[in-house]
Amino acid sequence: MTTPAICVPPLADVIRRLHSCEPIHVGAIPVEVVADNDKNVVWQGDVQIFTMGESAAARHCYAWEERHDNYAQLVVVPAIPPISSAQMAVRSVLERRRSGVR
């Protein structure tokens, strides 16, 4: 699962709406999440990193697009402790989904 570069403007729009800030795209980092109990990759893709400015609750955030059969979902995770890396952001979303929290 990779995030196309074309996805950066829509991600910035979502961040702008959700956090009332002007996000600046600073780069992308490849992330691979492996299941704790085995070596199976459960998520793989590029996570976009944005700064969010002084007025936002977090200085930066992690964002990515997930493509499903009939739709695409944009995911944004502010870098608020304990989230301190792109991998932790993805893991937190996967754990919330596994526990049934949306």
pLDDT in tens, 66-87: 988 899 899 999 999 999 999 9
pTM of the predicted model as reported, rounded to 2 decimal places:
0.85
pLDDT reading at 2 higher than 80:
no
Q: What's CA 32's distance to the chain center, in Å?
A: 13
The residue extents of the domains of the chain are 5-98
Q: How far does CA 45 lie from the centroid of its chain?
A: 10
Buried b / exposed e along 7-41 (16+ C-beta atoms within 10 A) = bbeebbebbeeebebebebeebeebebeeeeeeee
